[in-house]
Structure 1
Amino acid sequence: MVTEHPRTNRHDEIETIVKAKDGGVTETRDEADKYTVVGAAQRRTFANWVTPIEEHFVCHRNDIPAIESDEWTVTLTGHAEEDLTMADIKTKYPTVAVAHTMECAGNGRGQHRPETGSVQWGFEAAATAVWTGVPISSILRKHSIDSPENRWLTTIGGDPSDEEDVFARSIPLTKALDDCILAYEMNGEPLPREHGYPVRLIVPGWYGVNNVKWVEELMITDSMVTEGSLDRPGEHAYWQQVAYRLHPKGVKPEPLENIDTVDTWEQLEDAVEHPYTFDANVMSIIGVPDGASPVTPRTDGTLEVRGVAWAGDDAIERVEISVDGGETWVDAELFGPEYAGAWRLFRYDWAPEAGQHVLLSRATDELNRRQPRTISNPDVWRDALERDEFPWNEGGYAANAVEPNAVEITVLEREEPTPSG
């Protein structure tokens, strides 16, 4: 069984990443002292549609592999067999760019009370980048794989583990053929090492754990990865069947080969007993004002409240703003680019009184699913969503509650200009 042991070189790696990103990110507390984790350093990151690489969060458990791009290959196995070099990937297939809001499945873990273990994220583990690469569909259709037929794409990362586990994740072949890519560029630049250089899987709108870095193998399988299903030594199924699943405290999830829905929210509504983290839940963050310093209204007496909202595979239908700690709500305006799998910008022009204010945002998706107000206590499970709460779960996954992401601001009086004469 995989255990979490401290990794001695973790802090050196974090320091290097923070330095390279020039202050755009900051280290996040990791109870196991095992993960390399940095998140957006400023709330203002969530006021823009594209997240600069310097502000994009990083999370991985194993060491970054030492890779030379011209020596790296991606092996196709299962119902297809081929070794793809990076030259093959870049020159033999179409090139596309996709916008993708990537959110760590553990985003919001640090908002659980009592705390769960591992990385204590607030809201800083989410970002939107434009990824360039090759459609998975183009690669698989070369091998006459153009129908999902209830199959899965299992992606294996090439990052070395100091345990006896393999980082493998399975996604439905329907999703892989729809919009997934093997990416080798991020925001128009070569993929940085900490983001998966030389190639990673991008699964638009799905939690970050599905977006496997340092892709080494793509396997077409008839089920999700289970223990012993890979032709290699070590533990195979931990990252699919144990970690990154939602369950109450003290429960060991049963491994499943197939499920009827990959929608995380739908699974929580009783479709799957212990849900998997695939499609991201509806979520929003206010980016400005950021609460870091007092603000003064514009000459017309208003302040702009601006932020981002996302809902995985589903579209954002509505964003509401509260400027009084959740007592009342008004609709914000959605604006800017609208791409499947990427967040929407929202704004609201507010005429505030001077003083202290607590600002909240809550988003609703096209299926009329709205962010719950709080995270439940550990005694509540299936009934949490009906009580306007997100269910506390032992892994701290998929949280999207409104109140923990509030921003407290101070509004100053606007000085009236002195009449001349």
Structure 2
Amino acid sequence: MISRETSEEASEEASEEEYDRRRHAQWCAGEARADGVARRDMLRLLAAAGAAATLPPVLGAPRAQAAGGAVAAGIVKPLPADRFTIRGTNAETKFEALAQTGFHTPASHFFVRNHTATPRLDAKTWSLKIWGDGLRGAGTREFTLADLKRLPSTTRTAFVECAGNGRSFFTTQQGGEVSGTAWTLGAIGNARWRGVRLSEVLRRAGVSRHAVDVLPSGLDAEYVTDDGTNLGRVRRPLPLSKAMDDVILAYEMNGAPLPADHGYPVRVLVPAWVGIASIKWVGDIEVSSTPLYSPWNTRFYRLFGDQYPPEGSAPLTRQTLKSAFELPWNASLPAATTHHLTGRSWSAAGAITRVDISADEGRTWHRAHLKDTPHRATWTRWTTPWRPNTPGPTTLLARATDTTNHTQPETTAHNTQGYLFDAVVRHAVRVV
């Protein structure tokens, strides 16, 4: 029997692919906009079957720059070495640093994904502009932070995870070449977010029955690629159906105002979707009666490679399934000692139902104890005892299964930009 969640997952994926096909047709007919994407790039993305499937040079991961050209990490909060690995303009959380942090990730440990640099915004002068031909009437609607806080609030625990989380394992475990930030598994954080539903704000702004797409834009600096192409501010369209569903305009994180690096004063939160959809420092939302594209769902955040169509997959939406040990890489563990291994597993499609652990290259598996009540779009902590007796190098494996009956595979299909890695990660340790 197919579960309701499995059926809903298949339906969501099918509807997203159909939605993208309609947008392709409408763009070709001149009925959709692709601001910031050159026509030649769109033609390549929309090429007929049989065109070259290799990754064009323009699709390589761009270097984060401010429009003025200066490269800088641009992160405001402290990044102590025991918590973070610095990766250019980004900071990856070390999973071992999460061992004592509880279910919600403190802001002090939450990873940072910046395209340019964290802007310093004043909440007193900040406002959210909502505009476009998908609204009834004419003109722009503006909401201050005080306006948003007067609206009914909602609170939700959800993870935010970069689409490239786990990217490095395409190379280190599978021998493939990929472009982009070489994340291990720490480009994720799970927090309790409070804000107002985007649907509430759109209704008050006068969203019309003709609206099809919603395009949030951030207030960080414009994004310039290595070849000097200015792609403008980070922005990515959402189907109106998703925007009116579970998307939140969040102004609090774990009971406090959003920190600067995490979107202060207001960010978009799109539960379960790839992190790029959750635009930080949002200041502008276009509501459109025609389909929209941006570089962040054409040039980036699609799957390209030998196993995908020449134009790439549909734009990425939901994240995937992963597990991680709360251990340093190549940790030294004493022999003849019982160790209580801990870790976390998460899925965007369903709740975690079980986590299996292997310490013998996958020959045998035993079930870990789940410490949390599992929910979709959050993670579940787990623990398991392990008593190694033989000194030397070994590998620990953690394999999760969710309520859609999806279990982490041995390998992930290769894609050139290294997105959505979901295979079981081989975590090397040394018994001493």
- SS of the aligned residue for 2:232 comes to coil
For residues 118-158 of structure 1, give each alpha carbon's deviation from its aligned partner in whole angstroms, at most 9, with x where no partner exists: 211111111111112112232233356598x8933321112
Out of 38, 41, 58, which is 2:94 matched to?
A: 41
Distance 1:251 1:286 in 2: 31
Quote the residue 1:365 is aligned against: 402
SS at match of 1:139: helix
Match in the other structure for 1:204: 271
Which whole-Å CA distance do the structure 2 matches of 1:209 and 1:339 have between them? 22
Match of 2:374 in 1: 338
> In 2, distance between residues paired with 1:213 and 1:239?
14
8 Å contact kept, 2:320–2:349: no
Q: For residues 119-158 of structure 1, what are the structure 2 equivalents within 5 Å?
A: 119-143=181-205, 151-158=212-219
Q: Secondary structure of the residue that 1:70 maps to in structure 2?
A: coil
Cα distance, 1:344 vs structure 2: 1.2
Question: 1:247: how far off?
Answer: 1.1
Q: 1:398 aligns with which of 420, 427, 431?
A: 420
Alignment check: 8 A CA contact 2:335 2:389 kept = no
Contact 1:185 1:191 in 2 (8 A): yes
Distance verdict in 2 for CA 1:160–1:190, change over 3 Å? same
Aligned pair in 2 of structure 1 residues 135, 5: CA closer, same or farther (>3 Å)? Answer: closer
Relative to structure 1, is the Cα distance of residues 121 and 20 closer, same or farther in structure 2, using a 3 angstrom cutoff?
A: closer
| Cα distance change, pair 12–321 in 1 and its aligned pair in 2 (3 A) | closer
TM-score, scaled to structure 1:
0.75
Output aligned runs, 1:73-92, within 5 Å. 73-78=127-132, 79-80=134-135, 81-90=140-149, 92=150
Aligned match of 1:24: 83
Q: For residues 213-260 of structure 1, give each alpha carbon's deviation from its aligned partner in whole angstroms, at most 9, with x where no partner exists.
A: 11112233346522xxxxxxxxxx111222011110698964xxxxxx
Greater length-normalized contact order (CA 8 Å, ≥ 6 residues apart): 2
| Alpha-carbon distance in structure 1 between the residues aligned to 2:246 and 2:307 | 36
Q: Is the 8 A contact 2:207 2:287 kept in 1?
A: no
- 2:244 is paired with a residue whose SS is helix
The question of 1:190 aligning with 2:257 is answered yes
**Alignment partner of 1:220: what SS?**
strand
Amino acid of the structure 1 residue aligned with 2:110: H
SS at match of 1:352: coil
SS at match of 1:89: helix
Counterpart AA for 2:105: T
Quote the residue 2:429 is aligned against.
409
2:242 corresponds to which letter in structure 1?
K
**TM-superposed deviation, 1:20:** 5.4
Q: Deviations over 1:376-396 (max 9, x none)?
A: xxxxxxxxxxxxxx1111111
The answer as to whether partners of 1:156 and 1:166 remain within 8 angstroms in 2 is yes
- Match of 1:243? 300
Between 390-399 and 5-14, the greater mean CA deviation after superposition: 5-14
Structure 1 unmatched ranges of 5 or more: 31-35, 227-236, 255-272, 375-389, 413-421
User: For residues 166 and 346 of structure 2, what CA distance do their matches in structure 1 show?
Assistant: 15
Q: Number of residues paired by the alignment?
A: 354
Q: 1:73 is aligned with what amino acid?
A: S
User: Which residue does 1:417 correspond to in 2?
Assistant: none
Q: 1:251-303 CA distances to partner (integer Å, 9 max, x unpaired)?
A: 8964xxxxxxxxxxxxxxxxxx6132211111111214865332467xxx633
Q: Distance in 1 between matches of 2:170 and 2:329?
A: 22
* Whole-angstrom CA distance in 2 between matches of 1:363 and 1:250: 25
> More deviation in 124-133 or 63-72?
63-72
Kept in 1: contact 2:73–2:117 (CA 8 A): no
- What code does the residue aligned with 1:360 have? L
Range with bigger deviation, 284-293 or 329-338: 284-293
**Aligned amino acid, residue 162 of structure 2:** C
Aligned letter for 1:152?
D
Output the amino acid matched with 1:274: S
Task: Give the Å deviation of 1:322.
Answer: 0.8
User: Is the Cα–Cα contact under 8 Å of residues 371 and 381 in structure 2 kept in the other structure?
Assistant: yes
**Structure 2, unaligned runs of 5 or more:** 1-37, 39-57, 225-229
Give the structure 1 partner of residue 287 of structure 2.
Answer: 220
Contact 1:45 1:287 in 2 (8 A): yes
Tell me how far 1:208 sits from its aligned partner.
Answer: 0.8
Partner Cα distance (1:290, 1:396) in 2:
21
SS of alignment partner, residue 100 of structure 1: strand
**Alpha-carbon contact 1:242-1:253 (below 8 Å) kept:** no
Residue in structure 1 matching 2:164, options 106, 110, 121: 106
